[in-house]
Every structure is written in structure tokens, then in C-alpha cells.
Amino acid sequence: MNWLDIDKNHVWHPYNSLPSKTKILPVEKTDKTSIFLSTGEELIDAMSSWWSAIHGYNNPKLNDALKKQVEIMPHIMFGGLAHEQASILSKKLVELTGLNSVFLCDSGSVSVEVALKTAILYQKAKGLKKFKFLALENAYHGDTLGAMSVCDPNNSMHSIYGSYLSKHIFTKAPSLGFSSDCSEAIKELENILEKNKNEVAGFILEPIVQGAGGMRIYNPEYLKKARELCTKYDILLIADEIATGFGHTGKMFACEWASIKPDIMTIGKGLTGGYMTMAAMITSKNVSDIISNSEIGVLMHGPTFMGNPLACSVANASIDLLLEKSWQNDVKSIESIFTQELEKAKDLKLVKDVRNIGVIGVIELKDDCYAQKIQDYCVANGVWIRPFGKLVYSIVAYTIKEEDLRKIVKTMIKAINSLENQ
């Protein structure tokens, strides 16, 4: 039995059946911004491996970091022990975020779980019984139980689990558009926080761009008001920067568009440049001090692979690589090309909207029945994308060549055109 037969019979792929109902492509290797299939085709990766491979694949500096670390210490438990790479990484994250206290964990979903638990501990340490969370409609924060409970209960991919999850409070998401009027959403936010201030421990949101809930780009003014209201009611503001962090929107972290600092931030995806699974929850000193100095005293969470030295080492190398390059200029250039090329999709009859920011380019269709056909067309023409619902989108590595980026968007548009001509 070859490995593809094993995959077909035994491997359960994400958001899929077993055997898979959709075509699974056999990858032989990756390099720079290309995926090479065992069947001989080369695909431009328009997804940067679910938005994580910000430097592309097989980067020499990241490879070297792993090779060096594996000879020194591939892993060590983090309970009661410390190691240099984790300390160096934590210092970098403190300097980048302006926050103080770093909890290193396994994945983005886990970092959200830890953030929610931390918010509850914070309120409990102050003698308050505040166990609910406020989140936005269209929110997506991960696949684990706590994370799912703060995803949109009606429109998210996790609505099927609704009766099993903790019940939280949801508020209107700000309207689409970086400069759009968000006053109605702000008014509802203020009313809900005033009404529920004695039971809400934290307000969690994806700053500037709501990702898997619709690739919804919104006005930074909403973040400013959210920060103001959370401070007023002693509700922790939790910024989920897993998808937006490390430059995806044109700022190192999307909160910078509003010049605000959350109480808690979750990060992942681009943290290791797409090499290793790793994430982090970072809090203000106030949050960690109040918990640590209370009767509770500790943060009760401890993943087995927390602070893995290999992941810390490659994360350090990835952050150094980002900071030593003119990544802002690269992202601005990508944004400009997305703007130019996406303009050509606006008048297509199947298209409802186009939008972009940083390295994110989105075409929203009027119907959600075309995803597989569009993916098949793009793959047949040398581009790897993974549409979902009504969204055909791309989030690329900062190292992508201009010609490849233009081909991505042109191929997406041609795929939609091919449907219109059927």
C-alpha cells in the first residue's frame, strides 16, 4: 500500500469526511512560495499554509535555526525548568507588543483557551463573579471548546456544536470597510457592556480583520471605543491577533491601527514563520500581578510541549528575519498589487464585493456554491487556493514575486469568469 492509499483510507483531513469527499493533492516538497506535487505540477501557494509561512518555504535562516537547536536540545518540559530560547523569545514578544507576561503554548486555539481562563482568573482574583464573554458576530477564534464558544453561534463553522458549548454574549460586528461608519455597532457595544458589566469577564475580538468568519475588514475607530469601554467597566480586552499578527495587515499587530493596547493578546500562525506549531498568550503586568498576588496565585494551564525549544528557536529566527528586512515595504507593495488586480473583479456578475488590506486579498461572491469549482480551476492553472463559503481569497508570503502575485489574482478572476460563461 503506497502512502496515498494510506491517506485515503486512514487520514482524516480537517473539515472533511473519511474518505475525503474532496480531492486531496499529494505534496512532494515546498520551496519559496511554491508547492510541488508528486504528480509533477508546481502550484503558487496563495494561502501561505493557512497564513503562517510569512517568509515562504525552506528559508535558509529558519532552517539553520532548527538544525542548530536540534543538536542542543530538541525538547524539555517547561514545568519547573527554563531554557534560553524561550527567554529570548519572550523578551522579543514583550518588546513587540508592549505587554509584559508571556505564556507559550501549542496552537492558536489553545492560546485563546488560555486567554479565556486567564480573564476568568483575573476577575475571580478581584473577588468578582464574572464568567461570561462578549464576542462579535461573525467571530472565529479556533476549534477547541472554549474557543468555539466565542465563535459566532449562528454563522460559524462550529454552529453544529451550539447546544454543547458555554453560552456567551454576542454584539453586532462593525460594518465592512476600513473607513466605514461604525457608530451603530459602537452604540450596541456600549449598551451591552453597560447592561452586562457585572457578568462579563472579557471582550474578545479579531482586530481590524475578522478572518474565517468572513474576511471582514473594519474601521479602527471601533477598536478605540472598545478599549475605552473595557477600561471603564473593568472588562479585559482580548485581541486575537493569531491571523492578523506579524505584519499581515501592514502593521506588526493590527491593534496598532488604532494605537491601542489590549489587556491580553493571542498570537500564532506567523510566529514561527510556518515551521512549527506554536502560539502565545501575552498579558499586561496588571493582569499577571493581580492573579499571581491573589489566593489563586497561579495560572492553571500547562501543555506538554509548552515552550518547545525547537519552536522557540525558529520563532526567534523568524522575528529577527522580519525585523531586519523592509517587511513594511514588501507588504505595501503586495497591498498595492492586490488593489490594482482586484479592481478587475468588481464588475463580474457573480461578485458581491472585493476588499483587501496588507497581504490579504478577498473576492466575495453572491453565492456559496462555487468553492470547489473555483479551486479546481485554479489548481489546473498552477495556483493553490482554498475558498470557503462565498469567499475566494489569498493571503500570501511577504517574499512572493510580483509576477506570481498577479497570476494568483488573475487566475482567481478567470476562475469566476469561467463560471459565468457556463
265 forms bridges with which residues in the sheet? 239, 282
Q: Burial level of 300, CB count in 10 A (0-12/13-18/19+)?
A: exposed
Task: Tell me the average pLDDT across 313-329.
Answer: 96
Task: Tell me the average pLDDT across 99-104.
Answer: 98
Residue type, 7: D
Task: Tell me the average pLDDT across 188-207.
Answer: 98
pLDDT-derived band of residue 158, with 50, 70 and 90 as boundaries? confident
* Residue 373 pLDDT greater than 70, yes or no: yes
Catalytic residues: 15, 140, 240, 269
Q: Return all residues near 205 (Cβ < 8 A) that are at least 6 apart.
A: 135, 136, 139, 223, 226, 237, 238, 239, 240
Proportion of the chain in helix, strand, coil states, percent, rounded to 5: 40, 15, 40
pLDDT of amino acid 389: 92
Assign a CATH topology to domain 3-58+326-420. Aspartate Aminotransferase, domain 1 (3.90.1150)
pLDDT of amino acid 162: 79
For the stretch 250-306, pLDDT in tens is 999 999 999 999 999 999 999 999 999 999 999 999 999 999 999 999 999 999 999
End-to-end Cα, the chain, rounded Å: 40
pTM above 0.95, yes or no: yes
**Alpha carbon distance 358, 398 (integer Å):** 10
The percentage of the chain sitting over the pLDDT mark of 90, rounded to a whole number, equals 95
**Alpha carbon distance 212, 220 (integer Å):** 19
Q: Please provide the DSSP assignment of 345-396 as one string.
A: GTT-TTEEEEEEETTEEEEEES-SS-HHHHHHHHHHTTEE---BTTEEEEE-
383 forms bridges with which residues in the sheet? 44
pLDDT of amino acid 159: 75
Map 29-79 to HEC letters: EEEECEEEECCCCEEEECCHHHHCCCCCECCHHHHHHHHHHHHHCCCCCCC
* Residue 1 pLDDT greater than 80, yes or no: no
**Alpha carbon distance 65, 58 (integer Å):** 12
pLDDT-derived band of residue 22, with 50, 70 and 90 as boundaries? confident
* Residue 216 pLDDT greater than 70, yes or no: yes
Task: Tell me the average pLDDT across 394-421.
Answer: 96
Task: Tell me the average pLDDT across 162-188.
Answer: 95
Q: How far is CA 389 from CA 55, 67, 96, 229, 318, in A?
A: 28, 40, 35, 34, 32
For the stretch 252-265, pLDDT in tens is 999 999 999 999 99
Mean pLDDT taken over the chain? 96
pLDDT-derived band of residue 228, with 50, 70 and 90 as boundaries? very high
For the stretch 336-351, pLDDT in tens is 999 999 999 999 999 9
* Residue 318 pLDDT greater than 90, yes or no: yes
More confident residue, 418 or 1: 418
pLDDT-derived band of residue 246, with 50, 70 and 90 as boundaries? very high
H-run or E-run covering 85: helix 84-97
Query: Where do the structural domains in the chain lie, given as residue ranges?
Result: 3-58+326-420, 62-324
* Residue 161 pLDDT greater than 90, yes or no: no
Assigned CATH class of 62-324: alpha beta
Residue type, 391: L
pLDDT of amino acid 154: 85
pLDDT of amino acid 156: 67
* Residue 157 pLDDT greater than 90, yes or no: no
Residue type, 269: K
pLDDT of amino acid 163: 82
Residue 221 DSSP class: H
pLDDT of amino acid 185: 98
